Amino acid sequence: MLEYSFISGDSFEDDNLVWSPSAGQLISEHNNLGWDTYAKGGQGNFYIFNSIIANIKRKDYKLALINWSSINRKDYITNFSNWQVEGYVTALKIDNTHYVPADQVLFESLNYIVSAQLIFESLHIPYCMWWGINNVGQTKNKKCLELIDLIKSKNTFFKFDSSSYEYAKDIKHLSDYDNAHPDQEAHRRWGNQVMEYMDKQGIQVL
């Protein structure tokens, strides 16, 4: 019987005919797994985290692959259960001289990532993560730095300081469709690097 991996993210891991197979799909197939993707174009990290909570127990998943999105996307749910997204920093209106909106935005996404790591570990599901879009930037906030160190210490987050978009741009393999998404070759090369990282860190399908 075919076993499955769990994939989530934004459009980079959406099953899109223009740039599929995605890195997550290629990694799944390399491990002889089928895959279910809950990725959705344009969404942010709250949506991605919620997709894990809502769907991770649908099957006995043998691997989880998560493409985190821009920290500046503010996901929200409507009365009709539709996911929408807005720019994040402009949505924060807190008047406090000790408050830095960019740190708050980053802090929230880092909490989603740490929580997702804990979920996968509690369910004994091997996992690997990476940024699709990385605009973390520089922070001096102690709590943010503590969470970044915690995330990195798990050795399950590939190239935390980079992203698949930056890589595709560097190797000149953005999609001709919109010049904003990695093309198939970029997904293939990025996926190969993630697999090498997984092998090095002992992240294996049980």
Quick one: DSSP state of residue 202?
Answer: T
Cα atoms in the 13 Å half-sphere on the side-chain side of 183: 12
How does pLDDT run across 94-141, given as a tens digit for each residue?
A: 454 555 677 888 999 999 999 999 999 999 999 999 999 998 988 888
Residue 206 counted as domain residue: no
Residue 75 counted as domain residue: yes
Residue 118 counted as domain residue: yes
Cβ atoms 186, 176 nearer than 8 A:
no
Read off the pTM.
0.90
Q: Report the 10 Å Cβ neighbour count for 126.
A: 21
Residue 44: CATH number of its domain: 3.40.50.1110
Residue 19 counted as domain residue: yes
User: How many domains does the chain divide into?
Assistant: 1
Cβ atoms 117, 152 nearer than 8 A:
no
Q: Does 8 score more than 50 pLDDT?
A: yes
Domain coverage including residue 92: 4-201
Q: How far apart are CA 159 and CA 143, in angstroms?
A: 21
Tell me the two tokens of residue 54.
């809502």
Mean pLDDT of the 59-83 span:
86
Residue 165 counted as domain residue: yes
